[in-house]
């Protein structure tokens, strides 16, 4: 049904596979990527640190379970990232740029202003709508666009 408020679960379900594909692409750049990983940022960092070291990865990209549950309720999804070189700000920014580009390549609407202290925000509802506009089958039916002002032929209806 068209016109109802976008349910969080619907938006999350539509956005999630795209995030998954973006993560898959990012793994090729030697980044450890985990969806709904660990409970919070502190635990996630503690768990990712040895993984990054063991695999000699450049860094890690993830969102944790608390991010996930908020995302499932329809809020924006925050993607977190870290560079293996903890004080290497250039490395952090490079990873952030890659994450943003990979998410955008999947058609997601992303907000991040290159501030390495900030998580990368996937605008859940905007991303959902962006996907909807590309799919003609999900457009509202039964209502013609208003062409009367520019197309006199339409005025005879
Ligand atoms: Zn925790």
Q: Where are the domains of the chain?
A: 11-143
Distance 45 CA to ligand 1 centre (A): 9
Rounded to whole angstroms, the Cα distance separating 64 from 42 reads: 10
**pLDDT band, very low/low/confident/very high, at 137 (cuts 50, 70, 90):** very low
Cα 83 to ligand 1 centre (Å) = 20
| Gap from CA of 31 to ligand 1 centroid (Å) | 22
Closest of 18, 118, 11, 124 to residue 76, by C-alpha: 124
- Say how many Å lie between the CA of residue 44 and the centre of ligand 1: 7
Q: 66: CA distance to ligand 1 center in Å?
A: 9
Per-residue pLDDT for 52 more than 60?
yes
This prediction has a pTM of 0.79
Report CA(118)–ligand 1 centroid distance (Å). Answer: 19
Q: Helix axis angle, 89-105 relative to 8-27, nearest 10°? A: 120
Residues with Cβ within 8 Å of 81's Cβ and at least 6 positions away in sequence, in order, are 31, 59, 60, 61, 62, 92, 95, 96, 99, 119, 120
Q: What's the CA dihedral at 37, 43, 46, 50 to 10 degrees? A: -30
Q: Which residues contact 76 (CB under 8 A, 6 or more apart)?
A: 121, 122, 123, 124
38 Cα–ligand 1 center, Å: 7
Q: Does position 34 have pLDDT exceeding 50, yes or no?
A: yes
Strands (E), 1-157: 31-34, 59-62, 77-83, 110-111, 120-122
User: Which residues have CB under 8 Å from 28's CB, separation 6+?
Assistant: none
Check whether 139 has a pLDDT greater than 80: no
- The rounded mean pLDDT for the chain is 85
Distance in angstroms (rounded) separating the CA atoms of residues 87 and 83: 8
Which string of DSSP letters, residue by residue, matches 109-148?
-EE--S-TTSPEEE-HHHHHHHHHHH-GGGS--S-----T
Residue 142 Cα to ligand 1 middle (Å): 50
Q: Is the pLDDT of residue 138 over 70?
A: no
Separation of CA 65 and ligand 1 centre (Å): 9
- Ligand 1: centre distance to CA 81 (Å): 16
Give strand pairing partners of 34. Answer: 62
Distance of CA 42 from the midpoint of ligand 1 (Å): 6
pLDDT (tens digit per residue) in 81-130: 999 987 889 999 999 999 999 999 999 999 999 999 999 999 999 999 88
């Amino acid at each position: 049904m068209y016109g109802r408020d976008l349910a969080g679960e619907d938006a999350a379900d539509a956005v999630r596979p795209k995030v998954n594909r973006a993560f898959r692409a990012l793994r090729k750049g030697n980044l450890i990527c985990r969806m709904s990983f660990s409970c919070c940022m502190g635990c996630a960092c503690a768990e990712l640190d040895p993984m990054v070291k063991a695999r000699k990865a450049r860094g890690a990209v993830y969102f944790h379970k608390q991010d996930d549950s908020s995302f499932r309720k329809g809020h924006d999804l925050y993607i977190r990232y870290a560079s293996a070189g903890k004080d290497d700000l250039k490395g952090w920014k490079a990873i952030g740029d890659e994450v943003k580009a990979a998410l955008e390549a999947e058609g997601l609407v992303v907000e991040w202003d290159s501030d390495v202290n900030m998580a990368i925000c996937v605008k859940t509802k905007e991303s959902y709508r962006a996907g909807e506009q590309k799919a003609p089958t999900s457009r509202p039916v039964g209502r013609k666009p208003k062409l009367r002002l520019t197309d006199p032929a339409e005025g005879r209806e």
